[in-house]
Structure 1
Amino acid sequence: MAHAVSSAARLEEAVAAVRARTDACPRVALVLGSGLGSFADTLEGATRIPYEDIPGMPVSGVAGHAGRLVIGRAEGVPCVAMQGRVHLYEGHDPGDVVFGLRLMMRLGAKVLVVTNAAGGANPALEPGDLMLIEDHLNMTGRTPLLGPNDEALGPRFPDMSEAYDPGLRRLARKVAGELGIPLRGGVYAGLLGPSYETPAEIRMLQRLGADAVGMSTVLETIAARHAGARVLGISCITNKGAGLSAQLLDHAEVQEVADRVRDRFVALLRGVLAALAKESG
């Protein structure tokens, strides 16, 4: 059985390939979900590297995920962005799902901003809402930490009591308030996918305390905390969960809503980065 934890040696080969193209040292890592990938195109002084050019980097086949690592600056902050991500439901090992995340940490990032498109399990959430992730439920049954621990990546038993950094959440709320962008808080449930949830599963998730549900983010957050990074997570609610509306779910709807909310999402993201620049300045 292949172990899920990526070897440090494999990561170093990927780091060397990126370093051959740029010596920039990013401070913030961005994982850009459905509808937000174009934000990476706005990074200043950017170096763009297709995933295919990075040894060991898995490539996504999902529509709307470009598949490039982009290194540049936004609001004066050195950033590295994953323009598209891979998912467990594509058949990837958990270690491959978080390989890009671990690569960004190895390049120097200490803060992760992870975004996603999610369904609303909380009936109060409407398509187009932005939700600050306060905690998560890992319902995938998988973890990127399975197998022997590589101490070069992090400790055997990382603490997850504050998986989503309280200071970053306060900062995001402050920025959202200044911009007049409504930002609800909630719990994100990460499921395996690729099928959308049944109405019974949505009712189960509600009882477990979930507000939003999706097919990403939880493994990346675990790997980031394993590496000692601070994590800020934001979901774009693209649809109501199964059974909460008469509408059937499809990926085209998810992308359409994510595209519609993009400008507001990007404004919040830029505001957070500008606040981080002041924080470090």
Structure 2
Amino acid sequence: MKLPTPLRVAILTAATAISLTGCQLTSSELPAISDTGTKHIGHVVWHDLITPDLAQSKAFYGDVFGWQFKQVNDSYLLATSDGQLIAGMAELDNKQNASHWLSMLSTDNIAAISEKTVSAGGKVLIASTEIKGRGSIAVLEDPQGAVFSLINTVNGDPAATYSDNRWIWQEVWTDNPEQSQSFYQSLGNYSVQTKTLGENNYKYLTADNKPAIGFVKKPDTNIGNTWVNYIKVANISDTLLKVKAAGGVALMAPTQQVRNGSVAIIRDPAGAGIVIQEQM
């Protein structure tokens, strides 16, 4: 069984940024990501890993974070942490043979956000497409080139949790944090907050009085503007040992100069980058 066409195209877009001109989308089906009946508009509520090797990714994330998995079909599986559904993993061959995490923002109006994105200079890479059982999705590119996704669920969004080995935060790493912050703020009912981190003022958006999206000046001009996701861990040193043993790489080891040594940047064996954070 092949990966559902809308998700395949969305995944390929995020992973390789290829042209989508002329692509035909069809209806398909995937399990719901939640049955809460409640939406968390403006928040990242889901993550899909795009990988050229599903078995390799399953082994890595299972070994490092203790995730368990449920196979949906030959090309897609669901990941759980202590029984809670937290992510999907999709296999898709691509020329770069690279892995990528795709962040999905909850919305109840994909069309309106798509229109605002285009008006601001961004792009609609995949127009709103229904996936039976899950809801509607779209894939957009913001005005600075960072790719993100929208989801309008049919059964509600997962509730946020802050347990070990689960998602805890997300940021846009960008050439111009002020412009990125202004763009995303225009997409919904967000408020801007500022927090002092060391000698820097860190700006982030809140939705419903809860933190939603942070903005960071990207550390390397050679990388593209991108969304970066954080996973909470109990012990960052122990986790880095697991990353290495499972075939991953530490791109940045903990350092006191960056959030008091509480974070590290890792890459999975196929190239997907994430930040791990130990709560201080």
Fold shared per TM-score above 0.5? no
Q: Which has the higher strand share?
A: 2
Q: Which has the higher helix share?
A: 1
TM superposition score normalised by structure 2:
0.30
Choose between structure 1 and 2 for higher RCO, CA contacts under 8 A separated by at least 6 residues.
1
